[in-house]
Structure 1
Amino acid sequence: MDRMIYTAMSGAKHILEQQATTAHNLANATSTGFKAQVDSFRAVPIVSEGLPTRAFVIDTTVATDFTPGTIIGTSRDLDIAIQGRGWIAVQRLDGSEAYTRNGSLKVNENGILQTADGLTVLGDGGPITIPPDERIAIGRDGTVSTVSRVTVPSPTNIVGRIKLVNPDESTLVRGTDGLFSTQNGQPAQADANIQVASGALEGSNVNVVDAMVNMISLARQFETQMKLLENAENNANKASQLFSLG
Structure 2
Amino acid sequence: MDRILYVASNGAARILEQQSALANNLANTTTTGFRAVLDVYRAVPVQPAAGEMPTRVTTVLASHQAHLGQGAVVETGNALDAAMAGDGWFTVRTPEGEAYTRAGRFTVNDNGELVTATGAVVLSVDGQPIELPERGTPTIAEDGQISALGAGDHPADLQLVGQLKLVNPPAEQLRRRADGLFSLPGSEVAPADERLRILPGFVENSNVEPAAAMVALIANARAFEQHMKFIQTADENDQRSNAILSAAG
1:89–1:163 contact (8 Å) kept in structure 2: yes
Aligned pairs, number: 245
Partner deviation per Cα, 1:128-154 (whole Å, 9 max, x = no partner)? 111223210001110001123413343
Residue equivalent to 1:160: 162
Residue equivalent to 1:73: 75
Residues 231 and 42 of structure 1: is their aligned pair in 2 closer, same or farther, counting only changes over 3 Å?
farther
Residue equivalent to 2:26: 26
Residue equivalent to 1:90: 92
Partner deviation per Cα, 1:19-72 (whole Å, 9 max, x = no partner)? 010000000000000000012334444352435554423223321100011101
Range that drifts further, 117-126 or 198-207: 117-126
CA distance in 1, matches of 2:227, 2:54: 21
Residue equivalent to 2:107: 106
2:96–2:187 contact (8 Å) kept in structure 1: no
Q: Give the strand-richer structure, 1 or 2.
A: 1
CA distance in 1, matches of 2:143, 2:153: 27
Which runs of 5 or more residues in structure 1 are unaligned?
none
Normalised to the residue count of structure 2, the TM-score between the two structures is 0.93
SS in 1 for 2:20: helix
Residues 62 and 172 of structure 1: is their aligned pair in 2 closer, same or farther, counting only changes over 3 Å?
same
Range that drifts further, 46-55 or 117-126: 46-55
Normalised to the residue count of structure 1, the TM-score between the two structures is 0.94
CA distance in 1, matches of 2:11, 2:67: 23
Per the TM alignment, residue 110 of structure 1 is displaced from its structure 2 partner at its CA by: 2.2
SS in 2 for 1:50: coil
CA distance in 2, matches of 1:186, 1:51: 43
Residues 45 and 7 of structure 1: is their aligned pair in 2 closer, same or farther, counting only changes over 3 Å?
farther
Letter in 2 for 1:74: T
Which runs of 5 or more residues in structure 2 are unaligned?
none
SS in 1 for 2:52: coil
1:6–1:55 contact (8 Å) kept in structure 2: no
CA distance in 1, matches of 2:233, 2:26: 34
Residues 95 and 217 of structure 1: is their aligned pair in 2 closer, same or farther, counting only changes over 3 Å?
closer
1:7–1:57 contact (8 Å) kept in structure 2: no
Residues 42 and 133 of structure 1: is their aligned pair in 2 closer, same or farther, counting only changes over 3 Å?
closer
Letter in 2 for 1:16: L
- Aligned-residue identity in percent: 40
Residue equivalent to 1:116: 117
Letter in 1 for 2:69: T
| Root mean square deviation, CA, Å | 1.5
Residue equivalent to 2:135: 133
CA distance in 2, matches of 1:11, 1:229: 11
Letter in 2 for 1:138: I
Matched, 1:172 2:174: yes
CA distance in 1, matches of 2:136, 2:142: 19
SS in 2 for 1:184: helix
Matches within 5 A, 1:1-246: 1-48=1-48, 49-92=51-94, 94=95, 96-125=97-126, 126-246=128-248
1:4–1:228 contact (8 Å) kept in structure 2: yes
CA distance in 2, matches of 1:133, 1:154: 17
